């Protein structure tokens, strides 16, 4: 997901769990600790990606759809879930992300309507001349206020938040297992 206006869903490890993980990581050298962390985060993001894809709404099954008067390919959230684990030098894992693939300035990926699905949105239409006169009489002075009318409200489908809620409890056991495998690999278990 993009940094600018992105959807952020966090999975934190609580204080006692992070202390247990750090105690086990101290038994490993820097490279081993980095490998264990990357392995654990990769496994967790893979599990989370599957859950997000399962929970994502499918939408219309047609190959194309009309968006703002233009026919565009009909892309689906399920097909565009992606993961990333970012590590830096000195073996530090900075973050792991699960999100919707984005090609900026394009309608080839569904990133542009993800916020609408996750948080809901309003369906609007242009106001008729009589409706504009009525709205002006009610005190709406800016054209943006009186030229559009809300027709309905689409309820949110918080599939990303729901997916994170399902996979958040798996993070600590997966990390513990990855560290244990690395300890066994290095003969320290």
Over residues 18-50, the pLDDT tens digits come to 788 888 888 888 888 888 888 888 999 999 999
State the average pLDDT over residues 108-120. 82
> How many residues are listed for the chain in this entry?
189
The first and second tokens of residue 187, run together, are 């003969």
The first and second tokens of residue 8, run together, are 């952020």
Residue 111 pLDDT grade (very low, low, confident, very high; cuts 50, 70, 90): confident
What's the pTM value of the predicted model, to 2 decimals?
Answer: 0.76
CA distances from 32 to 26, 88, 104, 156, 179 (A): 10, 14, 36, 43, 9
Maximum pairwise Cα distance, the chain: 80
Strands (E), the chain: 64-67, 70-73, 81-87, 93-100, 121-126, 148-154
10 Å Cβ neighbour count for 57?
10
Residue 71 pLDDT grade (very low, low, confident, very high; cuts 50, 70, 90): confident
* pLDDT value at 106 more than 80: no
The first and second tokens of residue 103, run together, are 């090609």
Q: What angle do CA 17, 10, 34 make, to 5 degrees?
A: 55
CB contact at 8 A, 118 and 91: no
């Amino acid at each position: 997901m993009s940094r600018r206006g992105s959807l952020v869903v966090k999975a934190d490890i609580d204080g006692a769990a992070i202390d247990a993980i750090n105690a086990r990581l101290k038994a490993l050298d820097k490279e081993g600790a980095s490998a264990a962390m990357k392995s654990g985060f990769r496994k967790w993001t893979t599990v989370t990606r599957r859950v997000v894809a399962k929970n994502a709404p499918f939408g219309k099954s047609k190959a194309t759809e009309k968006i703002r008067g233009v026919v565009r390919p009909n892309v689906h959230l399920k097909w565009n879930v992606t993961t990333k684990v970012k590590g830096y030098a000195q073996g530090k894992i900075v973050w792991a992300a699960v999100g919707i693939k984005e090609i900026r300035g394009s309608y080839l990926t569904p990133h542009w309507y993800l916020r609408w699905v996750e948080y809901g949105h309003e369906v609007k239409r242009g106001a008729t001349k009589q409706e504009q006169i009525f709205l002006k009489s009610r005190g709406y002075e800016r054209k943006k206020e009186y030229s559009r009318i809300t027709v309905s409200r689409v309820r949110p489908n918080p599939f990303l938040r729901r997916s994170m809620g399902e996979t958040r409890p798996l993070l600590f056991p997966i990390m513990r297992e990855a560290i244990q495998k690395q300890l066994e690999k290095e003969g320290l278990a």
